[in-house]
Amino acid sequence: MAAIGRLRSLLFAPAVRPDLIAKGPRSGADGIVIDCEDATPPDAKVEARATAREAARELAGEGPLVFVRINAVPTEWFADDVCGALGDGLDGVVVPKVETVGQLDTIGAALDDAGHPDLPVVLGLETVLGVADARQLLTHPRSAGAYFGAEDYVADLGGVRTVGNAEVAVPRAQVAIAGRLAGVPTLDQIVADFRDDDRFTAETAEARAMGFRGKLCIHPAQVALANAGFVPSAEEVDRAQRMLTAYDEAKAQGLGAIAFDGQMVDEPLAAQARAIIEAATPDV
């Protein structure tokens, strides 16, 4: 399955709002999702498909990767979305609320029949069952990545959404872990209050620490915060480089651990330092 590239920020725009879709590249987002699911009411699905196809063609080559989010497999709109919303210029398709391997097989067969056998699939893991079986789903050959959808997850769980995120700490981590084991990137939940920069920045730092590679954005103002949050700071990179220099010199002398800035450094910490340097290196 083809890779979906680097996605620090994935910006959603309603398929029924071509004006907002056209503005997407100006945000600096790594990826744009033309949303035929939640952001499109039931009586506008037909219109949304046509808009999605045309908008994807127009956005192709503008900079960001371009995706279309279709409706979930069990819905009455799924089959028509695959046939009608996916056209030229797409870098991938986003499928929400994926729960079973059988659904992934259905997605793959539908894409094959519609002439999209190589289109990367980004899964929405946003139900209790989908998160519980995340590793099985993300190791499926059609899976190219996933996002964790906290709002739908809590609704399905029957819980209460809180600012502190305690109710989603475990499932959030499960998705990141499953992505690591499957070797595919995972993206963190939305922040519904797009005016709350502090919360978005804090959640981005948490997500990076947990192993997520990017974050979902529902407003252009969130994009810059996500892009900055998933790149190590200059101070982090400088410290990592100095640490590795000292550690490599020690290894050459037959030592397995050193003291650096008051901290004991051995191979696990050296591996973290290498990851910081790699994350700070622009894709070529």
Neighbours of 67 (CB within 10 A): 27
Q: State the first-to-last Cα distance of the chain, in angstroms, to the nearest integer.
A: 20
Tokens of 242: 């100095």
CA distance 203 to 65: 23
91 burial level (CB within 10 Å; 0-12, 13-18, 19+): buried
Strand partners, 124: 147
What's the pLDDT band for 284 if we cut at 50, 70, 90? very low
pLDDT, mean of residues 37-55: 96
CA distance 268 to 265: 8
Contact 72, 45 (CB under 8 A): no
Task: Tell the residue number behind the tokens 């503005």, with chain if given.
Answer: 23
Residue 217's contacts (CB-CB under 8 Å, 6 or more residues apart) are: 9, 10, 11, 12, 27, 29, 190, 223, 226
Q: Which of 82, 73, 90, 128 is nearest to 4 (CA)?
A: 90
Residue 139's contacts (CB-CB under 8 Å, 6 or more residues apart) are: 181, 182
DSSP letter, residue 26: G
The confidence score (pLDDT) of residue 62 equals 79
Residue 262's contacts (CB-CB under 8 Å, 6 or more residues apart) are: none
CA distance 93 to 112: 13
Q: What are the CA-CA distances from residue 236 to residues 116, 227, 241 (Å)?
A: 41, 16, 9
pLDDT digits (tens, 9 = 90+) for 65-114: 999 999 999 999 999 999 999 998 899 999 999 999 999 999 999 999 99
CA distance 32 to 216: 10
Query: How many residues comprise the chain?
Result: 284
pLDDT over 90 (residue 9): yes
pLDDT digits (tens, 9 = 90+) for 133-159: 999 999 999 999 999 999 999 999 999
pLDDT over 90 (residue 222): yes
CA distance 103 to 97: 10
CA distance 83 to 254: 62
For the chain, the average pLDDT equals 95
pLDDT over 80 (residue 282): no
pLDDT digits (tens, 9 = 90+) for 163-185: 999 999 999 999 999 999 999 99
- The more confident residue out of 173 and 62 is 173
The confidence score (pLDDT) of residue 5 equals 79
How far does Cα 221 stand from its chain's mean position? 17
pLDDT digits (tens, 9 = 90+) for 185-194: 999 999 999 9
